[in-house]
Amino acid sequence: MSKVTIASAQNAKLKLVRALAGRSRERREAGAFLAEGVRLVEEALASGWPFRYVLFGGELTERGRNLVARLRERGIETAEISEKLLASLSETETSQGLLAVLEEERGQRLGLLNNVLITDALRDPGNLGTLLRSAEAAGIEAVLLTPGTTDAFAPKVVRAAMGAHFRLPLFEVNWGEIRTQASTYDWSVYLADKGGQSLWEADFTTPMALIVGAETEGVSAEARRLATHTVSIPMQGQTESLNAAVAGSILMFEAMRRRRAATRDTTLRNRAS
């Protein structure tokens, strides 16, 4: 593929990048979102995620230049722009030298799921991105994003998730759809909230959903109606609460530990019989 250079700030590709960096409506209408930095673009490429094009500056590291070469080998359109133009597009304080426009792929149809995370109107982009990163690491099968949750494809969320978008199905659903799923697949629905059962005592081994909401707004009425259990994290000291990302991460990893222990115990019993 021949080398392309963009010099004008009014170029259509740059205009699209500016639009995608803004409101959720712009991303939905374009059906695209942004991924900035070598690591995120590497993650997208490794996962086979569909690209539209990639912009890069002239001061890329060797790792970045090698990545651009691989993108071109895959037939992905790349274009070089000045460092000044790239900095004007960057969502970070210091440009990371590489910016990709990716196709937006939100989940379309829920199926059989036994281990999901539900966000309850979670509005903080950093918290949501961190939760997605932890969910993917803890073996969550999918994340259900309820009304009021911030856009999962906003640049701050994508950065905080560190590539989880490319491996973890995300579904925007209403509470009615979630209730249907919970009933169909007989989920135990755990609501993270103060005063609930200690996470050390919770089962977590049956098909389950974990609801995590915003720290400041509190739990929604819809989440309380859906929950079959309320679970909390025992704490010492004077701290009153943990933020959503930390609390959700602790609960998801404890659930993973509990499921693994149950699987191990079953295997040992089968071997002994």
pLDDT of amino acid 218: 78
Answer for the pair 33, 40: CB distance below 8 angstroms, yes or no: no
- Nearest alpha-carbon partner for 163 in 61, 39, 63: 39
Buried b (16+ CB within 10 A) or exposed e, 197-213: eebeebebbeebbbbbb
Answer for the pair 118, 212: CB distance below 8 angstroms, yes or no: yes
Q: What's the topology of domain 115-272?
A: Alpha/beta knot (3.40.1280)
Pick the CATH number of 5-103 from 3.40.309.10, 3.30.1330.30, 3.90.105.10, 3.40.225.10: 3.30.1330.30
Alpha-carbon gap, residue 128 to 160, rounded angstroms? 8
Q: pLDDT (tens digit, 0 to 9) for every residue of the chain, 273 residues total?
A: 446 788 788 999 999 999 999 999 999 999 999 999 999 999 999 999 999 999 999 889 999 999 999 999 999 999 999 988 988 888 776 678 899 999 998 777 788 999 999 999 999 999 999 999 999 999 999 999 999 999 999 999 999 999 999 999 999 999 999 999 999 999 999 999 988 999 999 999 999 999 999 877 778 999 999 999 999 999 988 787 889 999 999 999 999 999 999 888 777 778 777
Q: For tokens 């966000």, what's the residue?
A: 119
Q: For residue 111, how many other CB atoms are within 10 A of its CB?
A: 10
Is 266 strand, coil or helix? helix
Is 80 strand, coil or helix? strand
Buried b (16+ CB within 10 A) or exposed e, 226-259: bbeebbbbeeeeeeeeeebbbbbbbbbebbbebb
Equal fold, 5-103 vs 115-272 = no
Alpha-carbon gap, residue 201 to 177, rounded angstroms? 29
Regarding pTM above 0.85, the answer is: yes
pLDDT of amino acid 107: 72
Residues 6+ apart with CB under 8 A from 55: 6, 13, 14, 17, 78, 79, 80, 81, 86, 89, 98, 99, 100, 101
Ordered by start, the domain boundaries in the chain are: 5-103, 115-272
- Nearest alpha-carbon partner for 135 in 144, 147, 122: 144
Alpha-carbon gap, residue 46 to 160, rounded angstroms? 19
pLDDT of amino acid 93: 67
Is 141 strand, coil or helix? coil
Alpha-carbon gap, residue 205 to 52, rounded angstroms? 41
